[in-house]
Structure 1
């Protein structure tokens, strides 16, 4: 586990600033259609944090939220549209895209929703069809 630190991030225009404190609960790659569409990428690097470890430090009035489903409350800057974080209420965690925390050393530990992948990633990390059981998924792992 990483040492406790504070990492700062901001939206694309800088109107909204936030910080996370401590260490992420998990880091990895998500391959689900929603994350791919939201991030405009074939996969999304995620970092999961306890909700108590995240604070908006500037521009809170500029934070918007979009809910395609009740599982993911995606937060963004109303000024520039830049992504901020995604609250997952069923897990009690907030996902901050790894790219939003430039000082955090991103060390992915798994792939989630690999059953929906559009890009194969040949690495040694576990690949889950959906989510690990401890995060509410089936726990089924896939092979390449």
Structure 2
């Protein structure tokens, strides 16, 4: 899968560094309550990667984890609290938050969990009520 391309990023204080290889599987925006509460923002910009493409290159011993549901394991720097990524074991992907990768050419293709949005965005992208059907969601699209 690797295209030879590698991107890197770090937590807020720089104690933890992360690298990703190749291209993301998908990029978009999540509007679920969980992402909003975790990020303390109205929406989360995600980039999904195969787990084997994500590497902690510095500070692995400074990473904390929290698993609220079987769908996600959220990880952050224990020094500064900076958010890093979310592992999604049921889907076999890792979400490296787009903001963590400053050189990522972020090109979102959809919105997920748009039914619970608090920030309506009219950008022409598909707005999934929850998730695409292939991810176990309804596949229902909502109006822009």
TM-score normalized by the length of structure 2: 0.96
Pairwise CA RMSD of aligned residues?
A: 0.9
Please identify runs of 4+ aligned residues in structure 1 that moved more than 3 A.
none
State the match for 1:71 in structure 2: 71
SS in 2 for 1:52: helix
TM-score normalized by the length of structure 1: 0.96
**Do structure 1's residue 108 and structure 2's residue 118 form an aligned pair?**
no
Residue pairs, 1:28-107, within 5 angstroms: 28-107=28-107
CA distance in 2: counterparts of 1:29 and 1:132, whole angstroms:
13
User: 1:74 deviation in Å?
Assistant: 0.1
CA distance in 2: counterparts of 1:137 and 1:19, whole angstroms:
30
User: 1:135 deviation in Å?
Assistant: 1.9
User: 1:36 deviation in Å?
Assistant: 0.6
* Residue correspondences, number: 142
Gaps of 5+ in 2: none
CA distance in 2: counterparts of 1:5 and 1:134, whole angstroms:
27
CA distance in 1: counterparts of 2:97 and 2:78, whole angstroms:
18
Q: Deviations over 1:100-133 (max 9, x none)?
A: 1000110000000001101110011000010111
